[in-house]
Amino acid sequence: MRLILFSVASGLLHLAAAQTIYDIWQTTWDRSKLLTRANDPLVNFVAKGAIGDADVIVSDGTVYQQMDGFGATLTDSSALVFNGLKNKNSANYWALLNKLFDVTDGAATAGFGVLRLNLGASDFSAKAYSFDDKSGDTTLSSFSLDNAPSYLWSVLKDIYSINSKIKLYVVPWSPPAWMKSGTMNGGKLQTQYNGVYAQYLFKAVQQLSARGFPVYAINPQASLTLLTPSVILTDTYKPLDR
């Protein structure tokens, strides 16, 4: 079992046979620790004692839902950092990817089994773009995954070489600007483009699969709870008729 801890400290964790979380790497908000390995385990699983304010009781006899996995997001900016490391120190690059994505039992890695990928630009991109920026292209004849930076696909391919069964979850930050009542940075999807946008997403899934990146799940937009989402799902929203 592997866990990721996000608090004042963050790091790669997994449970040892003695039920102790160990191998913790910390980076603190005040920069007093920068990717520093903790000498002592932060969490020990022990027999239940007197109830206290900090007790966490885990029952493995009650099952609520099945977890699909744990993972991270590969953005344009993170792919750029990965690619820069690959160019400067290939050995460290591959060591880092293996530390993150190797799911071999006993490998002492994060073992990420889920990866989120942006469909087009996000707020972690150098510029705003979609996979079809040709205004009014309702046939999507200019659709191309290559609108994304090439290093994104290079890093993704390397990740798949380590874990070919990773579950790829894709999500767009915005429809193409010409489908909206605004720009990539604002406005909403115009209703006359509902069908075209569905085809746009479907085309993205098809082309990703053709490149060797089968899609496990898709969301029509990131952060659906935003006050002003680009895509508003209503009761009249219907699946694309293929």
Q: How confident is the model at residue 26 (pLDDT cuts 50, 70, 90)?
A: confident
Q: What's the rounded mean pLDDT across residues 129-156?
A: 96
Determine the pLDDT at residue 242: 29
Least confident of 73-82, 202-211, 216-225: 216-225
Query: In the chain, what percentage of residues exceed pLDDT 90?
Result: 52
Handedness of CA 231, 176, 129, 82 (dihedral sign): positive
Determine the pLDDT at residue 236: 45
Instruction: State the fold for domain 71-218.
Output: TIM Barrel (3.20.20)
Average pLDDT, whole number, for the chain? 81
Determine the pLDDT at residue 48: 65
Determine the pLDDT at residue 184: 83
> Could you give the C-alpha distances from 142 to 137, 139, 176, 181, in angstroms and in order?
7, 8, 12, 21
> Could you give the C-alpha distances from 188 to 26, 97, 134, 183, 202, in angstroms and in order?
41, 37, 18, 9, 20
Determine the pLDDT at residue 106: 78
Q: How confident is the model at residue 158 (pLDDT cuts 50, 70, 90)?
A: very high
Structure token pair of residue 77 = 């900016």
Least confident of 16-25, 94-103, 199-208: 16-25
- Give, as one character, the DSSP assignment of residue 38: P
Alpha-carbon distance of 147 to 152, in angstroms, equals: 11
Q: How confident is the model at residue 29 (pLDDT cuts 50, 70, 90)?
A: confident
pLDDT digit string, tens, across residues 89-104? 999 999 999 999 998 8
Alpha-carbon distance of 121 to 155, in angstroms, equals: 16
Per-domain boundaries in the chain: 71-218
Alpha-carbon distance of 215 to 206, in angstroms, equals: 9
Contact between 12 and 109 (Cβ < 8 Å): yes
Alpha-carbon distance of 178 to 156, in angstroms, equals: 28
Strands 10-15 and 20-22: antiparallel
Least confident of 52-61, 115-124, 126-135: 52-61
Determine the pLDDT at residue 41: 56
Least confident of 124-128, 176-180, 219-223: 219-223
pTM for the full model? 0.73
Handedness of CA 222, 228, 234, 236 (dihedral sign): negative
pLDDT digit string, tens, across residues 35-84? 777 776 556 666 666 666 667 777 778 888 888 888 999 999 999 999 99
Alpha-carbon distance of 48 to 58, in angstroms, equals: 10
